[in-house]
Structure formats: structure tokens, C-alpha cells
């Protein structure tokens, strides 16, 4: 059976700037092993599978796979899949919202604008503080040694995916950082986290924060643009009373160090909910014959 298939660039104003994603439509009839095999074959950070919604309120149902395992929630697959569903005419926003059904529940996706300028934002699962660390904490020393730290302490947050968040002194320090991969991998394994997300404030730039996300396990790789990591960071900044702007909105630059130039648009709304979003570019349209 042939199924519609697209490859996208997420959090990108133009192809090549963001994080790639594969989307398979008409995924009814594919079992778990087949979905995993397809995700392994695409060799992209994630591949999503679009299914009919299970409830009247849902716009579509989504399963998300990395090359190694199914993922309950991730930001760039959610944003990209919503774009693909809209482009394919499979769903229509209600009051400006789509509702994505996935392993963590029903998540609203806000739709703003049309065409190439359209911006999508997913409301991320609520994040919580698991541990506030310090530079001299024994298990953090190897990761933080020699880093010019910022004002906020390191913190372990869980928001569907678990990340250590570390503020650096300035953007220059962040851009020039050579990650200590062995220490990041050990910390990720020890705390069952994705790894370490570093961030810095950017005075006078078109973006408010610069972010780098270092995945420590199961492989060591720098993420080009992570909606989930940035949503978790937004929740921490809100918790700490340290958001860049009083209205809860700000812009993130991520991915330059790995050859990309993504822009993510974050908002913490009046209820404390975090919305993570950006633009999406469709790069490949075709069919999958598996």
C-alpha cells in the first residue's frame, strides 16, 4: 500500500534552517514494529505517523518515533505534523486551534497566519522542577567545570522530556562552547534525562535567548532545534521569575553550531501554560511504498 509522505524543515523560515522531520499519512494498518522500522530507515531525528482521531474533539492522532524508540511527546514533530495535516487538508482549525492526540494526551496546537508565513505553536505538557543543582554538586562538576555560568542555578526539569538546564554568562560563551560529551552522557544516564540544554541571554540581538541542546543518550548529538527542550526552559524561567519579557513572549535562536539557523517562538500565557512554536517548510512531497 502506498501512503502519502512528506519531509519538512521545522522552526525554519526557509529550507535548511530548522530541524528535519518525516511524516507518514494514512498510517492505519502499520503495526509498531513497522513504524519503528520506517523511522529507523528515514534516519531523521523523528518520524511521525498520522492516524484518525480517537475522539470527536481530536483533529488527528499522532505517533512519534525516533530511530530507536517511540517518543510520547516532542516539540518539532508536533509542530511539523500539524503543518502537514493542514497542508494535506486533513483537518480544519476550530477557533484557531487544532487538537493533537498523542501519548501524553490531547494537546492544542495554535494556528496563526496562512501560507509561508503561518506559525504553529503547541501547548507543551506541564513541566516541573525535579532538582535544583549547583556548580559544586558532585555529579554536575564534570559537566560544569570551567563554564562561565549565568545568574540562575542549574536545574533538572521534566516536561514530557527531562532536561538539565544551565544558564551561561553570555551568547559568546554559549556559541564557543565545546561540549564535554562523556560527562553529559554520564549525567544523562545517571538522571534518566535527555542531556544538557545550555542557554544565554542576548542583549541587542533579534532573538532574546540563544540555546544549545546536547543529547547525552542513547547517542551523543547536538539538537538543531528542540521544541520540547525550549518549552521546558520557558517553564523554568517562568518559575524563576526570569522570563525575558513581561508579556511572556520571546524568541530563541538555536542550531547555528550544527549548520542550521532555527527560530523558535515561546510564550508563557496568563495561566502559566507554555506554547512552543515556529514556521515550517515542506521540502519533499511523495509516497511511501513499504
**With contact defined as beta carbons under 8 Å apart, do 106 and 194 qualify?**
no
pLDDT by position in tens, the chain (length 290):
899 999 999 999 999 999 999 999 999 999 999 999 999 999 999 999 999 999 999 999 999 999 999 999 999 999 999 999 999 999 999 999 999 999 999 999 999 998 878 999 999 999 999 999 999 999 999 999 999 999 999 999 999 889 999 999 999 999 999 999 999 999 999 999 999 999 999 999 999 999 999 999 888 999 999 999 999 999 999 999 999 999 999 999 999 999 999 999 999 999 999 999 999 999 999 999 99
Q: What amino acid positions are annotated as catalytic residues?
A: 46
DSSP 175: H
What Rg, from alpha-carbon coordinates, does the chain have?
18
Which is it for strands 119-123 and 274-278: parallel, antiparallel or unpaired? antiparallel
Which three cell numbers mark 151? 545568574
Global pTM value: 0.95
Report the alpha-carbon distance of residue 58 to residue 8 in Å, rounded: 23
Amino acid at each position: 500500500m502506498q501512503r502519502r509522505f512528506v519531509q519538512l524543515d521545522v522552526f525554519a523560515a526557509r529550507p535548511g534552517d530548522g530541524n528535519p522531520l518525516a511524516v507518514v499519512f494514512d498510517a492505519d494498518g502499520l503495526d509498531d514494529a513497522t513504524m519503528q522500522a520506517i523511522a529507523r530507515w528515514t534516519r531523521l531525528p523523528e518520524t511521525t505517523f498520522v492516524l484518525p482521531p480517537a475522539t470527536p474533539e481530536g483533529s488527528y492522532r499522532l505517533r512519534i518515533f525516533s530511530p530507536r524508540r517511540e517518543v510520547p511527546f516532542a516539540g518539532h514533530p508536533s509542530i511539523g505534523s500539524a503543518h502537514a495535516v493542514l497542508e494535506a487538508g486533513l483537518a480544519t482549525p476550530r477557533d484557531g486551534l487544532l487538537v493533537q492526540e498523542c501519548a501524553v494526551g490531547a494537546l492544542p496546537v495554535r494556528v496563526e497566519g496562512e501560507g509561508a508565513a503561518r506559525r504553529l505553536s503547541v501547548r507543551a505538557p506541564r513541566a516541573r522542577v525535579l532538582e535544583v543543582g549547583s556548580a559544586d554538586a558532585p555529579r554536575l562538576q564534570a559537566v560544569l567545570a570551567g563554564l562561565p555560568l549565568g545568574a540562575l542555578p542549574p536545574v533538572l526539569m521534566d516536561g514530557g522530556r527531562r532536561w538539565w538546564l544551565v544558564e551561561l554568562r553570555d551568547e559568546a560563551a554559549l556559541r564557543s562552547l565545546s561540549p564535554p560529551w562523556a560527562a553529559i552522557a554520564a549525567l544523562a544516564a545517571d538522571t534518566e534525562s535527555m542531556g544538557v540544554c545550555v542557554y544565554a541571554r542576548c542583549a541587542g540581538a533579534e532573538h532574546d535567548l540563544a540555546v544549545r541542546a546536547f543529547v547525552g543518550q542513547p547517542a551523543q548529538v547536538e539538537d538543531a532545534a528542540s521544541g520540547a527542550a525550549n518549552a521546558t526552559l520557558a517553564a523554568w524561567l517562568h518559575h524563576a521569575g526570569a522570563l525575558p519579557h513581561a508579556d511572556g513572549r520571546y524568541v530563541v535562536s538555536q542550531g547555528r553550531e550544527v549548520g542550521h539557523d532555527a527560530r523558535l517562538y515561546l510564550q508563557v500565557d496568563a495561566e502559566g501554560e507554555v506554547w512552543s512554536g515556529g514556521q515550517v517548510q515542506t521540502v519533499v512531497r511523495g509516497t511511501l511504498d513499504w
